[in-house]
Structure 1
């Protein structure tokens, strides 16, 4: 009985046209809005995702020079990075060279100081005996060798049997005024001992 009354109430309202008009007008409004929005969305989506729309946008970009600008900026960026890396490498290399030069200079200075101290120490030693140079050896120019002497020169021996195989004497030569002093090894076989 309730259902029939509901239906009859609904039927009477439909007959009156009040509810039907409200439903129709709401449905029509919804359909028209849906149609408008779907048309707008479809045309926008069509422009965005269609091949023609994409080609049009690429064509516009080509015409206004955007690819050239992007390529130029990228190339300038690469050149700037390359220049920066080269300067860093050059600075690092210069620092390494500077450190090596400082170490070499320090080693040379130490070597000169050691040689000077050794020469002073040799000059203070007593002379054991004197020898005359019999033969001037060829190819005798090492760092510890006595150089600058010729056949007939007289040298002072301050230590015997030094060097490899004890085959050398530590000799020194003083200048005429005693200011110049040279010391080094000289082969025993090339010396003739002078009688005192």
Structure 2
């Protein structure tokens, strides 16, 4: 698939979702489309609850924005996310763009979009919210460093988060109102 994409880059679009998690534990899905040849990125929309209908509307809006430029593209590469409905594909097919679905469990098949979105989490590899929604346990990514080479570990994360607790001036996404304490129960673990 990589050789095909390289040879046909001028006529290829790739789309995917990236996930943004806010400090208030809200997950926002951002639908984006990448023009492979130019690396131009179109942020199509953001939603906390993207549905198939919502995704179709974003595709329609994109076609209106592209106008005559839409005919320069031959292919759209997308994964098999169920939010990409048959109607989504039809929006592109009506403009003469063939939709190429990636094979199941083939992470590299949409490598351009995956690389742009950097779908690997940055500071935490995972997090678990307690049943009552009052506690979040984070597993921090090993090997992360600050710009000066200082390790970003559980103590650094704890210190940074504790600075916000109860401070109105640090009410970034309501974090200072949500957090009451921060614990570092073990290496690369945060609660």
More helix by percentage: 1
Q: Which has the higher strand share?
A: 2
TM-score tier (shorter): under 0.3
Higher relative contact order (CA 8 A, sep 6+): 2
Structure 1 or 2, whichever has the larger Rg, is 1
Q: If the length of structure 2 is used for normalisation, what is the TM-score?
A: 0.20
